[in-house]
Amino acid sequence: MGERGKSDDMKNRKTNLEAVEPETGKTASDKLEAHDGMGTQANVTRPHPRLGREVQAKIGQQLRAMYDEVVNQGVPNHIADLVRRLSEQD
């Protein structure tokens, strides 16, 4: 009985941790956003849908792909020239 109760407890704790984590973040942020003066009262109190990990991963992937496309272009010549010119100045 004691053993079983313990293992159920462990299982629930794991599940709750995973499920609750984003929720906690949102609650804390809502408070901050309110102080921030950025959100209206309606925005602050409206519950947000919980985002799955896969959705977050997909957004992160697209964001990085778009960003890295530019990073991989390196330093354009006119920018390199500008930096060189500015760093030679007195």
Binding site for another protein (CB under 8 A): 12, 15-16, 18-20, 22-23, 25-26, 28-30, 32-33, 36, 38, 48-52, 54-56, 58-60, 62-76, 79-80, 82-84, 86-90
Question: Shortest Cβ distance from residue 51 to another protein (Å)?
Answer: 6
Longest dimension (CA), the chain: 81
Question: Shortest Cβ distance from residue 7 to another protein (Å)?
Answer: 15
Whole-number Å distance between alpha carbons of 26 and 40:
15
| Residue number, 7 or 16, with CB nearest to another protein | 16
CA-CA-CA-CA torsion sign (52, 11, 23, 63): negative
